[in-house]
Structures are given as structure tokens and as C-alpha cells.
Amino acid sequence: MKTLTSSLALLIGLAGWWSVVLPVPLQAKDRGAGGSPPDWRRAEPGWDYAFPRDHHAHPQFKTEWWYFTGNLKEKGTGRPFGFQWTVFRQGLMPPGMEVPDSAWLSRSFYFGHFTVTDLETGAFHFDQILSRGAFDETAAGAPGERLLVRIKDWSLEGAEVAPDFTEFFLKATATTGDYAVDFSLRPGKAPVINGVDGVSKKSAGEGNASHYYSVPRLETSGELRLGEETFEVAGQSWLDREWSTSVLAENQVGWDWLSLHLSDGTDLMLYRLRRDDGTPDPFSSGTLSFPDGSKVHLENRDFTLAPGRTWKSPATGAVYPMEWEVKIPAKKVILRVAAAQNNQELAIPGLAYWEGAVSVSGERDGTPVDGEGYLEMTGYAQAIRGLR
């Protein structure tokens, strides 16, 4: 669910240039200029997930992303780090439209976010990359290729197909050159399909949904560089893949999203859509997946998500909950989620959101559990108006 931020995000880089930052609703645009029929495909029930095919791009859909988050430690010292690596694809010309012969025009454009949380020093690094894809600055591999997606030197590849990729390779260097990662990620679990019948509904109306799967456990190892220092790190990461054409409703202003690795091998993905009147949207949902590969879909009524202590961002003035209490009564799950540190906001003008490492403790089925994960909170600094 994470990144409905997407279309907003891309505007950051442009914020200096253009007056504003928020695109008009996508659906409106599909009906829009030139009278050409909307020929983006919509997310409809019955999608037949196949891997590694679905790791690759889906250009018949308007929007998609590859979203990695992870909790890592330096080998030997145990120094803790968090990271986020995301690439978004935003479709410009639908499949029925011919892309003219110009190096500057492409069917999609790409942008990415890359953060590293240095939990020992409390430093939080964030960066954004943008490209219109001119001169092969961006690429998305087709099924059968190793390359999944690339923007300049931010790249994601898969390797050793049997039957799915057994390893991902993820690289990025911040555009400032200040920090970089070079990771290998091995799935410890098969992809978990979120939602019902292959779709994750986001709001009322046919097609207002996405195709959404997660790879909750990725054994991650590799190098993380901060300035001049390079750390050998290892830990657990989470991959979210989602593609869609239209998603949010007018009255949805933001969301809170969690991905948690629990010590008993259970993984939880949960999101709560917030409406402009402050109430949770009925289309909020989640997935609880177990070490044996089984999973449970959670509807809005199945869980509660209660905010606790808050933190006010000095950069944007937004007030974010730094603690959450998650209750899934039917599954006897009570979890207390706390930010690993406050300062993990991507303070991007017009589009700030909080995305950071969290620690978790609580109990499941009466047994104490703890764990780590990532939390995303959007729409606190300003209403999220993209992707409607």
C-alpha cells in the first residue's frame, strides 16, 4: 500500500521549477484531453500472479512501485541501521498510444526515494531521484531479463530463477554521493498476495484497487556506506510490489502502514486509510502471514490501530504518532509499535511523509513476541491528493 505518495513524490524535484506540486486526479485525466479512450488497464479480481514475471514492470497499468524497507545490523558490532529503497513508475502514455520518436519521450517516467537511518547517531538521510527516461537513464526489464528496474545507478536485479528469483541485487548511491548501498536479498518466504481474489481494494468504485503482493522476509547482506565509512551489514528486509491505475477516493487524505517481522516467524502488513473527517476508511486492510506459508486477510473490522505518543517535526511542523497499539482480537494479537527514533521524516516540501524503522513487542496467542519493521505515515503534513 505504501506509496500512494508516489505521484506526489515525483513533484518534489520539480517543486523549484513549477508552481505546484500536486497532480490533478488521475481518473479525471484518463477521461481527459483529446477524447482518446482511457486504455489503462484497471486492477480487477482474478489476477493470476506468476513469478518472476510479476516482479517485472506492468506498463499496461498506470502506476507501480518496487518498495524495499529493512532493519539491518553491522556484522560484529551489531550497530543498527534502517533503510528504504523505492522506485516508482508513473505511466504517461497508455498502451494504445504510440510513443513518438524522441529521446525525451517515453511511455513512463520513474523516480525513487532512498533513506538510511543511522540508529546509533540518530542521523536520518533521505534522497530522491527523478528521471524522464531520456537517453536510457531509466529502464525496466521485461520478463525473462534479470533487470527489474533502474534509474541511473539505482538498480534492482533478480537472479537464479528456480522457480522464482532466489536472489535480488539492489544498489543505489544518493544523488549527493553521500551514502550508498549494495545489497543482496534472498527471499526467505514465498510472495504473499494481499487483498482478496488478487486485488487490494482501496476505495469504492470498480477498479479503484491495486494488485499487491509482499515478499516479507528477505535475508539481506551487503555493504552500506555513510560518507567515508563502509559497514558490512545483514538483516531482514521487506519488499512490497503494487500496481494499479486508479486508487484513492476524494475523501481519503492519508494512511498509516506497517510491515512487521515478528520473532515467532509471523509477518504482519497492515494499513489504515484515513478520511478527511479523521475516521478510518472501511477499505483499510492487512495480511497476517505465517512461517508455513499460510496467511490471513484482515478487513477493517478485524483490527484496531491506536496512536500513542506523538512527535512534532521541526522541519514541517507535522505531528506524527511515534507509538501505535495494534490489536487483532480474532487472532489474539496485541502489539506495541514504537519508532526506533523520531527523526525519520522525508521532509519534502509539499509532500512530506514519515517512513522509518520501528521496534515491536507484545503477544500473539498469549505468547510474548517482539520484532522489527517499518512504519509509513502520510497525509500528516498535507493532504495526499495524488492517485485518486
Partner 1 sequence: MTSALTLFHTLVFRYLRRHWLTCLLTILSLALGVAVYLAVRIANHSSREAFSAGIDLVAGRSHLEVRGSAGYLDDTVFPMVAGHPDVAAATPVLEGFATLPDHPGEYLKVTGIDPFTNGPFQTFQVFDPATGEFDLETWLGQPGQVALSRRQAEALELSEGDSFRLETGGRVSSVTVPFWFSPEDEGEEEAVGKTALIDIGWAQVLLDQPGRLSSIQVRVEDPTQIEAAAARIREALPEGTVVTTPSQRSLQIQKMLQGFELNILALSLVAILVGVFLIYNAVSASVVRRRREIGILRSNGASRAQVFALFLGEAAATGVAGVLLGLPAAIFLAKFMVRQISETISVHYVLTSVESIQVSPGAVLVSACYGIGAALAGAFFPALEAARQEPVDALALHPVADPKPLPIRRLALAGMVSLGVAAALSWLALSSGPAWFSLAACFFAIMAFALAAPGFSRGGGFLAEVFARALPGRWQALVRLACENLIRSLRRSAVTVAALMSAVAMLTGVSVMIHSFRSTLDTWVDQIVRADLYLGPAANEVVGSQVFLPEEAEDFLRSQPGVKAVETYREERLLLPDGSEQKLAVVNAGRMKAFPYQSGNPEEVSRAVIQEDQVVATESFARRLGAALGDRVPLPTAGRVREFQIAGIFYDYSDDRGTLYLSRETFAKFWKDRRYHSAAVFLESGVEAEKIAEAFRDRFGGQGTFYAYSNRSLRGRIFDVFDQTFAVTQALRAIAIAVAVLGVTLSLSTLVLERTYEIGVLRAIGASRAQVFLSYLGEAGLTGLLSSVLGLICGLCLAVILTWVVNLAFFGWTIQFHIPWRELLLTPGWTVGVAILAGILPAFHATRIPVAEAVRTA
Which residues of the shown chain bind partner 1 in the complex (CB under 8 A)?
A: 7, 10-11, 13-14, 16-24, 26, 29, 32-34, 90, 92-93, 100-105, 109, 130-132, 134-135
Contact 108, 91 (CB under 8 A): yes
Closest contact distance (angstroms) between CB of 101 and partner 1 is 5
Closest contact distance (angstroms) between CB of 113 and partner 1 is 16
In 3-state terms, what secondary structure has residue 98? Answer: coil
Q: How far is it, in rounded angstroms, from Cα 167 to Cα 148?
A: 12
The alpha carbon dihedral of 323, 329, 334, 335 has a sign of negative
Q: How far is it, in rounded angstroms, from Cα 295 to Cα 288?
A: 5
Residue 58, Ramachandran bin (φ over 0: left; ψ between -120 and 50: alpha; else beta):
beta
Closest contact distance (angstroms) between CB of 107 and partner 1 is 9
How many C-beta atoms lie closer than 10 Å to residue 34's C-beta?
A: 6
Residue nearer to partner 1 on the CB measure, 105 or 338: 105
Residue nearer to partner 1 on the CB measure, 32 or 143: 32
Burial of 361 (0-12, 13-18, 19+ CB in 10 A): middle
Q: How far is it, in rounded angstroms, from Cα 289 to Cα 359?
A: 18
Closest contact distance (angstroms) between CB of 61 and partner 1 is 14
Residue nearer to partner 1 on the CB measure, 99 or 306: 99
Closest contact distance (angstroms) between CB of 94 and partner 1 is 9
Q: How far is it, in rounded angstroms, from Cα 204 to Cα 214?
A: 23
List all residues 6 or more positions away from 99 whose beta carbon is below 8 Å from its beta carbon: 93, 105, 106, 107
- Cα pseudo-dihedral 271, 129, 10, 243, rounded to 10: -50
Residue nearer to partner 1 on the CB measure, 105 or 315: 105
Residue nearer to partner 1 on the CB measure, 115 or 131: 131
Closest contact distance (angstroms) between CB of 38 and partner 1 is 12
Burial of 227 (0-12, 13-18, 19+ CB in 10 A): exposed
Closest contact distance (angstroms) between CB of 200 and partner 1 is 23
List all residues 6 or more positions away from 32 whose beta carbon is below 8 Å from its beta carbon: none
Query: Grid coordinates representing 155?
Result: 538498480
Closest contact distance (angstroms) between CB of 23 and partner 1 is 5
